[in-house]
Amino acid sequence: MKQVVLTGIKPTGAPHIGNYFGVIKRAIEMSQNTEYDRFYFIADYHALNSLKNADDMKKYYKELACTWLACGLDPEKVLFYRQSQIPETFELCWILMNVTPKGLMDRAHAYKAVVQENETAGKDPDDGVNMGLYNYPILMAADILLFNTKFVPVGKDQKQHVEMARDIAKYFNKKYGYTLVVPNEMIEEKTATIVGLDGRKMSKSYGNQLPLFADEVALKKLISGIKTDSSLPTEPKSTDCTLFEYIKLFGTEEKQAEMAKRFAEGISWADAKKELFEIANAYLKPMRDRYNRYMENFEDVELLLQKGEKQAREIARETIARVRKAIGVDEFK
Ligand code: ADP
Ligand code: TRP
């Protein structure tokens, strides 16, 4: 039996280049590794915590499904599915809640951050916190444990969630005997945090993102808006800036070296932005074209998902049967 690699992304808005260079690119590389059984999914029930509108849910799910495929996910090689089509996830989530100490959830970074903000603002510590936010890590543990996952490729910000999934699997196994595979995170330490157009971390919540599939006009406009210093066009420029960070992401090594030289000699910011647009556009165009084709033929994408969902459910049913047996509940009759 092959070991399982599994990862998911929440559909919470158009993916940006921070998501791409931070997690998607590496997840796609992993998806090509035939040593493993690979599960890639859309974590739509995780998105429910921030999406409270049916139209947004539909739109972002569609965009994310097309993003995975446009970035190179091959549904012949991996199981590609939506979390919401695997009801066994939610049954396992409930069972896992009953072995998870409350204290573990109290320590979750995302929950603690909200509490901290509330305390600073002099509000009730749990102001605006619902149980979906509080139990988020248990749902994520269910996603992971349902498919006997060994490795979970994620960004650094998800490390604690995978550690919690590991703890929860161990709590369960300790009480009921070995039933659930204990997972490990797979973190690329060297993926830097991609900076946003304003110099802070790129994030949808800051509105400083470069969307992965912005059309050429929008891409040019966003690049021309990157903050730069006020040095004169002929003055040497430091490569320690947002613009050069993007040149490093999109440019080949030769291009980076050539641009570093031009920065040292003195290049106008306008010319540097023009160059960046050219290399970013050349990099993104093939993916953008594929993305647009998938968006226009979404029925085909849905068929691919349905195929993945059918296979994923068979595995999910096997795990649930094993878990029900362990806890002393009858199988489905
Ligand atoms: P956002 O902050 O824009 O809402 P998400 O929280 O939806 O992004 O992130 C989805 C995934 O993309 C996460 O696993 C996260 O690690 C990764 N990611 C998000 N922003 C960045 C960034 N600026 N640099 C690197 N990785 C990022
Ligand atoms: N919480 C992850 C994120 O915000 C998404 C996610 C949900 C996930 N379930 C998962 C990632 C299981 C890996 C494995 O990015």
Q: Is the CB of 205 under 6 A from ligand 1?
A: yes
**What H or E segment, with its residue span, contains residue 6?**
strand 4-9
Q: Are residues 128 and 17 in the same domain?
A: yes
Question: Percent of the chain beyond pLDDT 70?
Answer: 99
What number is the average pLDDT over the span 96-125? 97
Q: Model confidence at 156, in pLDDT bands (50, 70, 90)? A: confident
Domain contains 204: no
pLDDT at residue 190 greater than cutoff 80: no
Give tens-digit pLDDT for 220-278. Answer: 999 999 989 888 889 999 999 999 999 999 999 999 999 999 999 999 999 999 999 99
Contacts 24+ apart (CB under 8 A), 303-309: 304/69, 304/75, 304/80, 305/65, 305/80, 305/81, 305/82, 305/85, 306/85, 307/75, 308/75, 308/78, 308/79, 308/80, 308/81, 309/81, 309/82, 309/85, 309/86
The answer on 69 and 185 residing in a single domain is: yes
Using DSSP's 3-state secondary structure scheme, residue 79 falls into strand
pLDDT at 157: 87
Q: Taking residues 143-169, what's their average pLDDT?
A: 96
Residue 140's CATH number: 3.40.50.620
- From 4, 5, 6, 10, the mutation candidate for ligand 2 (largest count of ligand atoms within 8 A of CB) is 10
Angle at 84 between CA 79 and CA 88, to 5 degrees: 80
Q: Write down the residue that tokens 């059309």 correspond to.
A: 215
Nearest alpha carbon, ligand 1 atom 15: 155
pTM: 0.94
> What tens digit of pLDDT does each residue of 49-92 get?
999 999 999 999 999 999 999 999 999 999 999 999 999 999 99
Q: How confident is the model at residue 38 (pLDDT cuts 50, 70, 90)?
A: very high
Strand partners, 241: none
| Within-domain flag for 77 | yes
Residues 281 and 309 in one domain: no
Ligand 1: which of 19, 71, 185, 208 to mutate, judged by most atoms within 8 Å of the beta carbon?
19
Query: Has residue 111 been placed in a domain?
Result: yes
Q: Whose CA is nearest to atom 17 of ligand 1?
A: 19
Whether residues 182 and 228 fall in one domain: no
- Is a pLDDT exceeding 80 seen at residue 288? yes
Residue 270 CA, distance from chain mean position: 33
Is residue 186 located within the same domain as residue 137?
Answer: yes
Residues 126 and 220 in one domain: no
Structure confidence at residue 332 (pLDDT): 84
pLDDT(174) > 90? yes
Do residues 43 and 144 both lie within one domain?
yes
Mean pLDDT of the 14-30 span: 92
Q: Find residue 8's DSSP bridge partners.
A: 41
Q: Whose CA is nearest to atom 9 of ligand 1?
A: 19
Query: Is 8 touching ligand 1 by the criterion CB < 6 Å?
Result: no
Query: Would you tell me the crossing angle of helices 298-327 and 136-146 to the nearest 10 degrees?
Result: 90
Average pLDDT of the chain to the nearest whole number: 95
Ligand 2 center to 18 CA (angstroms): 16
At 243 the pLDDT is 96
More confidently predicted of 120 and 199? 120
Range of the domain at 108: 3-194+298-327
Q: Are the beta carbons of 9 and 42 closer than 8 angstroms? A: yes
Q: What pLDDT, on a 0 to 100 scale, did the predictor assign at position 281?
A: 98
Residue 32 CB contacts under 8 Å (≥ 6 apart), including other chains: 72, 74, 77
Q: Ligand 2: which residues within 6 Å by Cβ?
A: 6-10, 43, 46, 140, 143-144, 152, 154, 158, 161
Instruction: Name the residue with the closest Cα to ligand 2, atom 3.
Output: 9
Per-residue tokens: 59: 């739109």
Per-residue model confidence (pLDDT) at position 188: 78
Predicted pLDDT at 179? 98
Per the structure, the count of domains in the chain is 2
Q: Which residue's alpha carbon is nearest to atom 15 within ligand 2?
A: 9
| Beta-bridge partners for 186 | 153
pLDDT at 238: 93
The count of C-alpha atoms lying within 13 angstroms of the C-alpha of 19, restricted to the half-sphere facing its C-beta, is: 22
Are both 269 and 133 inside the same structural domain?
no
Taking the centre of ligand 1 as the mean of its atom positions, its distance from the CA of residue 242, in whole angstroms, is 17
